Amino acid sequence: MTANHSTTEETKKRHKHEGPRKHIVAYILSMFLTLIAFASVIGGEINVSFIIFILLMMAGIQVFVQMGFWMHMKDRGHTFPIIGILTGAVVVFTMVIMAEFWAWW
Amino acid sequence: MSAHTHADGHLPHEPEKATLEGRNKVLGFWLFLGGETVLFGTLFSAFLALRDKVGEGNPTANELFNLSTVAIATFILLTSSLTSVFAIQAMHAGKKVPMLWWLAITVLFGLGFLGLEIYEFYEYVHEGHGFTTSAFSSSFYTLVGFHGAHVAFGVLWISILIGQVLKKGLNVVTAPKLYVAGMYWHFIDVVWVFIFTVVYLMGKVG
């Protein structure tokens, strides 16, 4: 029981050390990227393809931030999940490119 | 170590991966998310192909969309993703009651998001943007509505999990379910990042 107790304490300590900070950082970063995306559209006046480029960049970075921090993909032992999601992403990328550029050729 | 001891807060370090069943559940859920990615991808590609096909006299994306509503919805969903991560952190620390509160807040944010989306769709229909108005409107409602349905399902799922934890406690059986529900919620948030980018912001730009 004592041994058990100390392991629990250790576990608690480690988690306290980890803390919510990196998640708050990920949140603020996501907020910031979202803000840039909205501002670039509301601010207007720059040329359209440049704005679209910014929008896609912001979305891309935000996905890495959120999947890395919040979906724990940065943690070890996530090889299969990464393979699974990447397979999905490759299929999606192909489909989206096809629809956007060749559907009305 | 019985389930009862676990329920008292003596949980292993990562309770969702403490059993083989839990580990399989997490891996299986990742494969499901891969499939969901493809599913949303088809809806996105359909929308991208059809978003200019508005037809004569029907509202275009630029005329229709109200960015302030979308910004509020984005803020709500992003914040709910943070509260769900706090719930999982509380779970890892073995703190059942804070975890339940964070989950409840997540559910409330989810309901807020759904309310905004229903209001938004209601407005659009009144502006002559029905499901069958144009190819653009059909693909828009299918994509955004499908995401909304995912949010609705997530709200229901997490609510039921709250009930289950209240009844059965936080242990190695319930922990994987909570972890997986948290992943689902983040995934919904990631899909929304693409929706507000591709549908709303790119729709406003033209």
Residue A4 has pLDDT above 50, yes or no: no
Predicted local distance difference test score (pLDDT) of residue B160: 96
Reading phi first (left if > 0) and then psi (alpha if -120 to 50, else beta), residue B95 is in: beta
Same domain, A46 and A68: yes
Tokens for A96?
Answer: 């989206």
Q: Which residues does B41 contact at the CB level (< 8 Å), separation at least 6?
A: A88, A91, A92, A93, A95, A96
Predicted local distance difference test score (pLDDT) of residue A45: 66
Domain carrying residue A85: 76-105
Could you read off the pLDDT of A14-54 as tens digits, one per residue? 444 467 788 888 889 888 898 888 888 887 667 778 888 88
Could you read off the pLDDT of B110-136 as tens digits, one per residue? 999 999 999 999 999 998 888 998 999
DSSP state of B170: S
A46-76 core/surface letters (b: 16 or more CB in 10 A; e: else): eeeeebbebbbebbebbbebbbebbbbeeee
Same domain, A62 and A11: yes
Please indicate whether residue A69 or residue A93 has the higher confidence score (pLDDT). A93
Chain B neighbours among A 59-78 (CB < 8 Å)? 59, 62-63, 66-67, 69-71
Predicted local distance difference test score (pLDDT) of residue B2: 47
Same domain, A12 and A40: yes
Predicted local distance difference test score (pLDDT) of residue A18: 62
Same domain, A26 and A63: yes
- CB atoms A20 and B78 under 8 Å: no
Same domain, A64 and A91: no
Predicted local distance difference test score (pLDDT) of residue B57: 83
Same domain, A21 and A58: yes
Could you read off the pLDDT of A75-86 as tens digits, one per residue? 667 787 888 788
Could you read off the pLDDT of B44-101 as tens digits, one per residue? 999 999 988 888 888 888 888 988 999 999 999 999 999 999 999 999 888 899 999 9
> What is the count of structural domains for chain A?
2
Same domain, A29 and A49: yes
* Residue B196 pLDDT class (50, 70, 90 cuts): very high
From chain B, the residues in CB contact with A37 under 8 A are 196-197, 201
> Domains of chain B, with CATH numbers?
13-205 (1.20.120.80)
Of A8, A42, A59, the CB nearest to B194: A59
